[in-house]
Structure 1
Amino acid sequence: MSNNIDRSSQEKRTAFVVVFAFCVMLAEIIVGLSSHSMALFADGVHMGSHVLVIGLNWAAYVLVRSLQNKRATHYDTEKVLNLAAFTSGIFLVLTAIFIIVEAVERFSTHEEIFNYELALLTAGIGLLANTISVSVLHGHHGTADYNSHAAYLHVLSDALTEIGAIIGILCAMFWHITWIDSAVAVISALVVLRWAKRLLWDTGRLLTKS
């Protein structure tokens, strides 16, 4: 179990990552839609799920701090954090379904990517943003508790899907293989689903433990 100092530090780190990732998310979604890059759009939506996960994690830390300040000992603060993570897992499943539906629709219409350079630049910025977020969340001494470690793994998976988005854009740009863009989006969704399954399973066990 983490101490109050660990949680205070983690709360500040998650607050920074939430604001930072939200700005990057908006940029990726806007550029992804305007350039018709499904992989970039999917990564933006995935980044949105990342903002949601870390946002709930941050809110849980704020709530736990408030309860501790009020000395409300009848609340299990660890379960508060685990409940936030479990709720995030449910939203991650919905996000993955949305990405798959959008990818299938784009694949059926055979839309081409516009403005490859801008889409590629934005994806590169997203990868850099995720790398920074991973570094901030992990810190010098690792993650403080289960929720902070879950947030760290989630951002790490975002970085991997960002690499996939870049691959999809490059394949369409140099070889005109546009279907790879949608395929990468589906792979991104599968990554989200895998994460959500593990998150729901782990936090579910902790929440039902007596």
Structure 2
Amino acid sequence: MSNRIERSSQEKRTSFVVVFAFCMMLAEIIVGLTSHSMALFADGVHMGSHVLVIGLNWAAYVLVRHLESKETTKYDTEKILDLSAFTSGILLIIMAVFIIIEAVERMTTHGEILNYRLALLTAGIGLVANTISASVLHGHHGTTDYNSRAAYLHVLSDALTETGAIVGLLCAMFWNITWIDSAVAVASALVVLRWAKRLLWDTGRSLTRR
């Protein structure tokens, strides 16, 4: 009979963030559709991508706990967590590249921001949600493994881009400097790329270590 393994604190934190982000996603999508706000709807869809990514980190913890309960040595549970973190690092890079492409395209086409108040509200909601998630994932003792660090970096990167968006929107609204919005987005994406590179380097070394 398999021994029951208690959930680790990192698994509990990650599961909370997944459920919290899922509720935020539903709220933004429903309000966005009912109020015909595409900005809120788009942010809800974006939040859904984080539910999927951090859900992957959560699934890795669940799988490791299941394998440990069977007391099997066939699988290296640490490498499972590292592989999950490595995958998250790749997704971080994809997200950063997408932000850069969108920002550059917006900068070259000189796209106008149509509703500053709604855009600021959306960015503010996203910033609060991601700040809460980052605080929960980091905890009092920080991140304890690469998998929890990957989940933490995802919400932290989103909080960074939301902060940059707010700064850019305020500059455009008060001083009509619209290019700052795109410039800040590119700068935020470059920081995320740096984080992702470090995460891939550390997890890659761990995965290839015998």
The TM-score normalised by the length of structure 2 is: 0.81
Structure 1 residue 64 corresponds to structure 2 residue 64: yes
**Secondary structure of residue in 1 paired with 2:114:** coil
**Secondary structure of residue in 2 paired with 1:174:** helix
Structure 1 residue 97 corresponds to structure 2 residue 93: no
By how many angstroms is 1:95 displaced?
A: 1.7
| Cα separation, 1, equivalents of 2:171 and 2:108 | 18
**Secondary structure of residue in 1 paired with 2:142:** coil
Indicate the RMSD between aligned Cα atoms, in angstroms.
2.8
| Cα separation, 2, equivalents of 1:131 and 1:137 | 10
After the TM superposition, which residues 40-119 of structure 1 pair with which residues of structure 2 at under 5 Å, given as runs? 45=46, 50-119=50-119
- The one-letter amino acid paired with 2:130 is N
Which residue of structure 2 aligns with residue 135 of structure 1?
135
By how many angstroms is 1:21 displaced?
A: 2.6
Which residue of structure 1 aligns with residue 206 of structure 2?
206
- The one-letter amino acid paired with 1:94 is I
| Cα separation, 2, equivalents of 1:187 and 1:171 | 16
By how many angstroms is 1:171 displaced?
A: 0.8
Equivalenced residues, count: 199
| Distance 1:64-1:22 versus aligned 2 partners, 3 A rule | same
Unaligned runs of 5+ in 1: none
The TM-score normalised by the length of structure 1 is: 0.81
| Cα separation, 1, equivalents of 2:141 and 2:192 | 27
Deviates more, 1:13-22 or 1:162-171: 13-22
Higher RCO structure (Cα 8 Å, ≥6 apart):
1
| Distance 1:92-1:180 versus aligned 2 partners, 3 A rule | same
| Distance 1:160-1:97 versus aligned 2 partners, 3 A rule | closer
| Cα separation, 2, equivalents of 1:123 and 1:82 | 31
| Cα separation, 2, equivalents of 1:122 and 1:70 | 45
- The one-letter amino acid paired with 1:151 is A
| Cα separation, 1, equivalents of 2:49 and 2:190 | 14
Identity rate, percent:
76
